[in-house]
Amino acid sequence: MKDIMTAPFLVKTVRTITEMYRHGWDERNGGNVSLLLDEVEVKDYVDITKVLRTIPTGFEAPELDGRYFLVTSTGSYFRNVQYEPEKDLGLLRLADGGRTAELLWGYEDGGKFTSEFAAHILSHKSRLSVDPQNRVIMHSHPANLIAMTYVHGLDEREFTRTLWRMETECMIVFPDGVNVLPWMLCGTNEIGEATAEKMKTARLVVWAQHGIYGAGSDLDEAFGLIETADKAAEIYLKIAHLPVKQTLTDEDLRLIAGHFGGKVREGWLD
């Protein structure tokens, strides 16, 4: 077996989580990450016939039975993941129709997957149904986006249009827009199911007064989506109280999408 600490998927995940912390998105244990892996990627690093523990998930996901995921543990401090990945990360395989997670590596202090595991796995299922390349679900607590959910309406079309107008890059990066959930209790199957439903039409889902979920074909894409949306929210907060002299028009936004080949969310431009 090769040393899992050298596995590209582990190295990249640890680097990304460390960067999320540096961005101030993940105070204490805030945030969680899951990465879908193929058996060929993991079998040189762990004995896939040796299940260390089985952990009930509390939900079903038969479509993802037998699939492998690298997942942050509940309570893990993102600041520390780089120093103790074997404790703060776990390599899991779903079994029994998704009702069981088989631990193959990690969670060495006896911990388990994030309390938002339902939101992650059900969102993977949703994203894979519209994009077979999707591999990552990422949750964090970026301050600007959270602040925006206190002072901006939560209509997702209007929320998205405000973000799109905040810098040219937004339409290039997330032409599919941002979906928004009103505040709900976190760590439940209900918020997991609601998030997964929203993930069918956009790769970003804001949780009002809590944070955001991003999805992508790799860690960089999910990270970049959150980074761009939070930057736009920051610009919004800087100008929201000032008289606006000019802005990006719908015509400008259509021009950007046309030039960069983005498929704009149907009906979200006037």
Which residues bind to ligand 13P, rule: CB under 6 A? 29-32, 72, 74-75, 114-116, 139, 186-187
Using CB distances below 5 to 8 A depending on partner kind, what does residue 90 bind out of ligand 13P, Zn ion, none? none
Tokens of 162: 């405000």
Burial of 215 by CB count in 10 Å (0-12 exposed, 13-18 middle, 19+ buried)?
A: buried
In the residue annotation, 19 being an active-site residue is answered as: no
| Contact criterion met (CB below 8 Å) for 241 and 148 | no
Which residue ranges make up the site for Zn ion (CB under 5 A)?
211
The minimum distance between CB 150 and Zn ion, in angstroms, equals: 16
Binds 29: which of Zn ion, ligand 13P, none (CB < 5-8 Å by kind): ligand 13P
Tokens found for residue 265:
């969310």
| 206, 182 contact by CB (below 8 A) | no
Q: Which is nearer to ligand 13P, 212 or 264 (CB)?
A: 212
Partnered with residue 37 across adjacent β-strands are 68
Residue 224 contact, options Zn ion, ligand 13P, none, Cβ 5-8 Å cut-off depending on partner type: none
| Shortest reach from residue 93's CB to ligand 13P, in Å | 20
User: How many angstroms separate the CA atoms of 174 and 262, rounded?
Assistant: 8
CB of 30 to Zn ion, least distance (A): 5
Q: Catalytic residue, from 116, 156, 221, 227: name it.
A: 116
Based on CB atoms, which residue is closest to ligand 13P, 74 or 217? 74
Judged by beta carbon, residue 117 or residue 164, the one nearer ligand 13P is 117
Contact 142, 212 (CB under 8 A): yes
Edge-first strand order for the sheet with 68-72 is: 53-56, 100-106, 89-95, 68-72, 32-37, 136-140, 211-216, 204-207, 178-181
Q: Which residue is nearest to Zn ion (CB)?
A: 211
115 binds, among ligand 13P, Zn ion, none (CB under 5 to 8 A by kind): ligand 13P
State the nearest-atom distance from the C-beta of 118 to ligand 13P, in Å: 11
Q: From CA 26, how far away is CA 17, in angstroms rounded?
A: 9
- Structure tokens, 123: 């969102």
Cα dihedral 159, 164, 169, 172, rounded to 10, equals: 100
Is the CB of 114 or the CB of 123 nearer to ligand 13P?
114
Q: Which is nearer to ligand 13P, 30 or 97 (CB)?
A: 30
Closest distance between Zn ion and the C-beta of residue 15, in Å? 21
Residues labelled as active-site residues: 116
